[in-house]
Amino acid sequence: MTSEISAIIKERRSFYPHEFIKGEIPKKDIDSILENANWAPNHGMTEPWRFFVFSGKGLQSSHVIAIIMQRGNNKKIPVLEEVEAVACAVQNMALTVTDLGYGAYWSTGGMVKFKEAKEFFGLREEDQLLGLFYIGKVVTTKKDSKRGAITDKVTWVNE
């Protein structure tokens, strides 16, 4: 493991639209963020992540990406595992955002749970809108946070 990946994992923080500074992120960087999303692990190679990318002057963010789980045809794969694969894809995006020096956060609030939102994206009954990923320019990617000790969350088994 390189120290670089550990540093990026620990540096990643949620940054909210009110913290974004003006300026549009170049398309090539958004392409890199999406490309890395595409390399997430997924059970049965269903690749269930789908994205709608919004940009434009009307937004408080540089880009807003709608995160969608498109249920694959292999019904042996549980729905939860499709959702988990999309979450892995979103983490890939978040880490890439940090590496590129931008800020982002995953929102599951607001209209995300409305059935009208699902209709807006033309989703089928079995698909899910999992949230919106807001990305913007930030003054710094550094922000304090804390976690409880990992030792409180791990049970070692050595029989």
Ligand X SMILES: Cc1cc2nc3c(=O)[nH]c(=O)nc-3n(C[C@H](O)[C@H](O)[C@H](O)COP(=O)(O)O)c2cc1C
Under the binding rule (CB under 6 A), the answer on residue 105 touching ligand X is yes
- Which residues lie below 8 Å from residue 62, measured CB to CB, with a gap of 6+? 20, 23, 24, 25, 55, 102, 135, 136, 137
Does 43 carry a binding-site annotation?
A: yes
Shortest Cβ distance from residue 76 to ligand X (Å)? 25
Residue type for 144, please?
D
- Between the two ends of the chain, the Cα-to-Cα distance in Å is 27
Tell me the per-residue interface mask from 50 to 89 with ligand X, x by CB under 6 A, - otherwise: ----------------------------------------
Count CB-CB contacts under 10 A for residue 121.
13
Torsion angles phi and psi, residue 136, rounded to 5: -155, 170
Query: Which range touches ligand X (CB under 6 A), out of 3-11, 29-37, 58-66, 104-112?
Result: 104-112
Site for ligand X in 126-155 (CB under 6 A): 131, 145
Does 61 carry a binding-site annotation?
A: no
Q: How far apart are CA 129 and CA 57, in angstroms?
A: 24
Query: Would you say 45 or 111 has its CB closer to ligand X?
Result: 111
Shortest Cβ distance from residue 151 to ligand X (Å)? 19
Is residue 103 within 8 Å of residue 137, measured between CB atoms?
Answer: yes
Under the binding rule (CB under 6 A), the answer on residue 6 touching ligand X is no
The C-alpha R_g of the chain, in whole angstroms, comes to 17
Under the binding rule (CB under 6 A), the answer on residue 109 touching ligand X is yes
Shortest Cβ distance from residue 131 to ligand X (Å)? 6
Residues that bind ligand X in the complex, under the rule CB under 6 A: 13-14, 105-109, 131, 145
Annotated binding residues for FMN = 12-14, 43, 106-108
